Each structure stands twice: as structure tokens, then as C-alpha cells.
A and B are shown apart, each in its own frame.
Chain A
Amino acid sequence: MRRAVLLLSAAFAGLLLGLGVNSSAVAQSALGVHGTLENQQDEPVAGVSITVAQADGTEVATVESAEDGTWAVPLETGGAYVITLDESTLPDGLLVRNGRPQLEVEVNSDRTVLFPLDTQLAEGVTPEDPDESSSDEDGESAAPGDETSGDEVDEAEDGEALGEIEDEGGATRAVSLLFSGLHFGLMIALAAVGLSMVFGTTGLTNFAHGDLVTFGGVAALLFNLTFGLPVWLAAIAAVVLGAAFGWAQDWGLWKPLRKRGTGLVTMMIISIGVAMLIRYATLFFVGGERQRYTEYVGQEPWDFGWLVITPKDVATGSIALVVCVLVGLALVFTRLGKATRAVADNPSLAESTGIDVNRVIRLVWTIGGALAAMSGVFLSISDGVKFDMGQHLLLLVFAAVVLGGLGTAFGAFVGSMIIGVFVQMSTLVVAPELKYVGALAVLIIIMLTRPQGILGRRERIG
């Protein structure tokens, strides 16, 4: 009986903790702290000593990071702990980037503690050793997670990480940010065109579109890691799979719903359920950690003096641009493209002129799925795959689509580029972790002033 009561109260406490925190729905079985030490090239840093002590100073354990950079300290009781990274054991030239080698954390689960390592300190941090601030490392694509306080796994920055260029003149930094913004904008555009076209043809605001982006990234991860395909082949396979997924969604779910005459609001809530399905299935199979492909990680950037950019960003950006242009041309010049625009304009009228509306919608879903998957793969090449990457991108995609005008493909493209550049350029004036906030605020301001968007027409909003 005693044991049962103990078990019960322990389970009860764990339950309460687990239930409230919906975003980290992974069951938290063990207590402890762990992390992975990586330098800015994402190579593991081994042999660094890390000390965990209780808040009152009692030392719990000192561990060294393993060959793969990981370290972990299991704990028996929750509460406040002080985690100290011994900077003298770091390899030459490496520093804790945010200048906080000592962190106080509240442990109530097995949580990750992040020490971002770099050859120099981030802006706004007083360097302890000015000699370390060598400038030869400028402009590498920064390690993820260097933008927040560093004591929490960074989940927010699934966008571009290129915006972290220190010790540079404002103009150079602005140029680099402009380019990374254009790249990010193209990634948003790939997702936004599909979302906007689905809205245009069916009226559905698809909250699961962001998870189609995640699907692409995860599919490529599967081909790349499990089947050992090179990344370019995995990317193509993922895009094909994304198209198939879009097709299958319309075939298996949305078309039957349209036939039943399900209301649009109901469908919208169903799409949130679908988003949750995809997201938690991903979490179930892939896990909550950010994962990377086997190639193109920590690529040596091209330094033009006025612009520092990695070849992979140039490649993915150019492909995305070409694809967007091709989709645009197809919409304007091909029969099917014209039919698509006709359906978006007025489905009933289009049907009465002999256009097979359901076929057009199926096509839109297929292309939308493929483009979203492509966006997911390209974003993952830059930043790695995480199960909620699409969810965070989705709001920017919404901002882009609304800015451009809901339901218009060209508006979505223009809106995406503006949002992408705005998000990156805004880090010149606001803290990088708040860059998404600015974009979302723009969304609300547009609603106030010009709800039909840049290229939308007034009647759509009525």
C-alpha cells in the first residue's frame, strides 16, 4: 500500500509536469541535464570538463564531454542547479559564445543545456580575452542556437542562421543579411505558393501546410541517413514523395470531405488536427533533436569581401528561384495553369466552362506538396531537420500570403520575398530572437490597413 501511494504521487507529480507543457510533449521519464558541445563547424568538441552543482554550491558531478561531444549528468532530485563549463579545458581559441560559461537551470525533467562555442564572443558581450576575437572566421554560417540565451535548446531559429556576422561594417552586414533574406524569402515562397493556390481553389486555409514542409525535410533525412543516398538524390526523392503526399491527402481526405459538403471552418480545424498528426508522428519516429544530413554541414563560405555566402545557399536559392519562375510561367501560359487560375477566380463559373475542377485541385495539392517538400529539404540543408520546423515557418508563410493577397500565386511570391528580407534585415535593429515577432506584427498591421494584400482584390475579403 505504501509503495502504491508513493508510486501514485510520483506518477501524479510527473503527470502534472508533463501535461502542462504541451510543446515538449515527449514523456519526461528521467531527471538530469545533458548536452552536446560543438564548435561552429558543427564538429564535436571532446574532453571539456563540465561541473554540475546544486544551487547551494554542493558539487554533484564533474563530467567530460565524450568523443562525439555529448555529456550527460543524471540527477536524482529536481530543483535549481548550476552548470559550469570549465573554459580552461576548451581547445585553443574556443570560447563560450554568449560569455556565459556558468548557467543556472531549473531541472524538472531531462533537459538540454547548451553552451554555444565559437572562436569569438557574440556582439554585446564583453570579451574576456580580446585577443581571441580574430576576424578570420567572419561570416561562417553560424551554429544554430547562438541567438538565444543558450540555456535552452533553441527551437525558434529554424529560419536562416546566416544573420550572425560580427565584427563587420554595417553595410557589409546589411548586404549579407539582404542576401540571406532573399534566400529565406525564396524558401517561404516555395511553401507559400502552394498554400495560396490551395486557398484560391478550395477556400481552405490549410494549417497543415507547414507540416508538409517538415515532411520534405524528414523524407530527405530518411533517404539520406537510412538508405545512404547522397543529399541531392535524397532531395529529389523527398520532393517526389512530397508530391505524392499532397496528392494522397487530397485523394484520401480533402476530396471526400468536399463531396460530403463539410463546412470550411470544420475543414480548417481538421487541418489543424492533420498538422498535429504529422508533427507527432515525426516526433515519434525521428525524435525531438535537431538532425542534420550527412553532407554540406559547416560548408566553407565564399568570401567576396562585401558578401559572405555559402555555396549551398547559392545553389538552393537559385533552384528555388528557377522553380518559382517555372511555376509562374506555367500558370500564365499552359492550359492547366490557366485552368487553375480560372478555378481560383470562380470555381462554379470554371466548372460550367468545362474545366474539371477536382482535377485542378488535385494538381494544386500535388504541386503544393512538392514545393513545400522542396522548401523543407532546402531549409534542412541549411539548418537541420526538427519536427516542429514547419510549424514555425507556417506563420511566416501566412504572413507572406496575407501580405501578397490570399489566393493569388504571384502575390504569395512577392509577399514571401518581402517577409524573408524583412525578417533578416530586422536583426540589424532588433534582437535576432525577436525577428519573427516583427514579421507577425507586420501581418497584423496589414490587416488593419490593406487587408486584401498587395496583389489581392477588394472583393475577396468581404
Chain B
Amino acid sequence: MDWQFVFSQALTQAIGPTMLVYALGAIGLNLQFGYTGLLNFGQAAFAAMGAYGLALAVASFGLPFWWGIAIGLVAAVVMALLLGIPTLRLRADYLAIVTIAAAEIVRRLARSTVWSETTGGSDGLRGFSEAFFAMKPWGDDGNWSFLFVSMESGRLTVDLGVVNFQYSDRDLWVMVVGWTLVLFFLAVMGLLVHSPWGRVLKGIREDEEAVRSLGKNVFAYKMQALVFGGIIGAFAGFMFALSRANVQPDAFTTDFTFYFYVVLILGGAARLFGPVLGAALFWFLYNLFAQGLNQAIRADVIPPSVLDSTQVGPLVFFLLGLGMVLLLIFRPQGLIGNRKELMLDVR
């Protein structure tokens, strides 16, 4: 078994493009769930708004790239308003049910054959990311090396001896943009949650009535949190669509939202760096399991009669579910959270 390969893969993914998608989505969710206590179970739908807003605008309607970004953001805001107006006045679990239903509506509409000419049906859309990659400030075929970092025909290798990281040229550009966005939103969130506005949000999470009695418009604050978290969710959708250069409706299932929650709780909800830490750890563990099991099967450490390579996926997701349940039972604050902040109750 090639342990070096397994660890290299896991570490590569732990700071890679997919991890950034989850980090961004979880940052948005952190504002909604961690700080405000809103149970948004439809973060996948906000990501879908971003991804499909961009893909439809560019690939189907031929609009410029930046229009696509704008349309994705507007769609996410509209979605937040649509979901928030009926449910934010109600108890927390109503928002949970409505958002989960809305996410499913979005997915089913996107995969429906009725307008598959425009949306691509269940096959999704592609061909909208060229403008994004054309913005890459460096050339396609750089060849250079500096100490242990080398660039060879569009492939960056960071060889640290024990482990090595490899990224394609496109992944590198996605990562540059993605990490910039993550740092930007972390900075904004840091300023927001330490402002009077952020304190009101935490107050709402702890005791809505108390905040209301201070004369604050709780509904408006919740709505602002939902909209802003949704916008960050849409950015996660942009990164998701661009990193894979396609969108497919079935990527935006309820499970997608659930992984945002895993990431958030793993890192620690209501902590600024919780989502980023959680996303890195989540993808590290995921790849460690998946790659490790695949390698073990290939090297005949695990005989095929026990585990077949098609069963690795379900097994890893099973372990993730189990890990999530155990985490919530025994360490609901995650890595860096504060247990007292997460004793939420809806009754």
C-alpha cells in the first residue's frame, strides 16, 4: 500500500478547490445557523442559485461572465426573501422544513425535461467557465522551478519529500480566487459579528423575546442574516460550478447541505475559523478513508469478498454519517467551538 500517495492525496484535497466550496458554503451557514440560530437546510439551493444563475446566463443566454455572477447573486437574494418572509416569524423547525423542500423543488425543476433545452435537464450545463479561466494572470505553459516548488506544462508540484501536492493550472486559479474569497468573507464576518449588528444576531439566537423587548426588529435581523448567508452560499455555488466547469442538478441534493453542516459543526459553529478548519479536516478525512480503502483493495490488503471497490463510496459516506452522529453526541462544539453557545432549543 502506498501510504505516501494516500496522505498526499488527502492533504492536496484538504486545501484544494472542493474544500473551498465547502468552506464558503459553511461560512454562510455559520452566519445563519452558528450566529443567528436559523436552521437553513437549503444551503444547497443557494449554491444552486449561484451555479445555475451563472451557467444559465452564460451558456444558455450568451450573457457576459459578470452578468452571470450578478444574476446568480440576485437569484440567491430573491430565494432568501421568498423563503424568509413566510417562515422567519415561525418557530425554527418550520424554516428547516421549508428550506429543505425549497432545495428539492429547485433540484427537481433543474433536472426536469420540460425546459431541458435551456437547463440541460439531468445532464446539466457546461461551457460557461472559459471567461473565468481566461482571466488567469499567468500563461498556460510556464516551466520553472524554485526550491521544492516546480511548474511543469501547466501542473504545479510542491514536493516536500514526505508528501507532495499537485495541482493543475486551472485548479490553481480556482484556488487563488477561492482562498481570496474565503479570506475576504472571513474578514467581513469578523467585522460583522463583533459589531453591534452581530451582537443582536447572537442575542436572537439566545433569546429572541429578550431582543424583541429591547425594541429590535427581530424579523429584519433574521432576514438580513439569511440573505447575507445565502449570498455567501451563492459564491460557494460559483466556485463549485467553475471548479468542475459544469453544473448538474443532482449535485445539489439535501446531502450537499448536510455536508455543509458536517463541515460547520466539525470545525465549530459560531467561531470565525470554524468553517475553514472544518472543511479542511472534512476533506482530509474523507480522502484518507476513500483513498486508503481504494488502495487497500488494489493492494489486496482487503480481499474483494469483504469489500468491493464500488462499495467504498457508500462505506465512506456511512462512516461520515456515523462520525457526525457521534460528534454531535459527544462533542457538539466541534474543534474550536463553545459548547454553551450551541444549546439551541426550538420549543
Contacts and interface: CB of A to CB of B under 8 A. Distances in A.
A155 to B, nearest CB: 8
Interface string B197-237: 00000000000000000000000000000000000000000
A277 B321 contact: yes
A322 B8 CA distance: 60
Contacts of A233: none
Nearest to A4: B5
A399 interface: yes
Contacts of B310: 26-27, 29
A91 interface: no
A30 B254 CA distance: 27
Contacts of A148: 113, 122
B328 A434 contact: no
A152 B122 contact: yes
Contact of B254 (A281, A391, A447, A451): A391
A43 B106 CA distance: 35
A332 interface: no
A284 interface: yes
B166 A24 contact: no
A27 B313 contact: yes
A276 B258 contact: yes
A88 interface: no
A280 B314 contact: yes
Interface string A262-277: 1111101110111111
Contacts of B324: 269-270, 272-273, 276
Contact of A149 (B8, B91, B101, B121): B121
B9 interface: yes
A461 B85 CA distance: 15
A276 B322 CA distance: 8
Interface string A196-232: 0000000101010000000000000000000000000
Which of A8, A18, A264, A284 gathers the greatest number of chain B CB atoms within 10 Å?
A284
Contacts of B253: 22-23
Interface stretch (B70-78, B92-100, B177-185): B92-100
B108 A436 contact: yes
B347 A264 contact: yes
A146 B129 CA distance: 34
Contacts of B240: 20
Contact of B346 (A7, A26, A149, A264): A264
Q: How large is the interface on A (under 10, 10 to 19, 20 to 34, 35 or more residues)?
A: 35 or more
B113 A431 contact: yes
Most buried by A among B18, B85, B114, B329: B329
Given A8-B166, A402-B97, A434-B108, A22 B347 contact: no
Given A257-B329, A272-B258, A20 B244 contact: yes
A156 B112 CA distance: 10
Contact of B261 (A4, A149, A269): A269
A276 B113 CA distance: 28
A120 to B, nearest CB: 19
Nearest to A22: B255
Nearest to B344: A265
A395 interface: yes
B346 A451 contact: no
B162 interface: no
B328 to A, nearest CB: 5
Contacts of B296: none
A106 B291 CA distance: 26
Contacts of A263: 342-345
Interface string B316-347: 11101110110011001000000000111111
The 3 closest A-B pairs by CB, nearest first: A276-B321, A265-B344, A273-B324
16 contacts: A8-B8, A11-B291, A22-B251, A25-B316, A263-B345, A265-B344, A266-B328, A266-B342, A268-B93, A268-B96, A276-B320, A277-B318, A433-B108, A433-B114, A440-B101, A451-B86
Interface of A: 4, 7-9, 11-12, 15-16, 18-27, 29, 105-106, 148-149, 151-152, 156, 203, 205, 207, 257, 260, 262-266, 268-270, 272-277, 279-281, 283-284, 391, 395, 398-399, 402, 431, 433-434, 436-437, 440-441, 443-444, 447-448, 451, 461-462
Given A20-B240, A22-B256, A265-B346, 17 more contacts: A8-B5, A15-B13, A15-B291, A19-B18, A24-B250, A148-B122, A205-B97, A262-B329, A280-B321, A283-B314, A431-B114, A433-B114, A443-B101, A447-B90, A461-B91, A461-B94, A462-B91
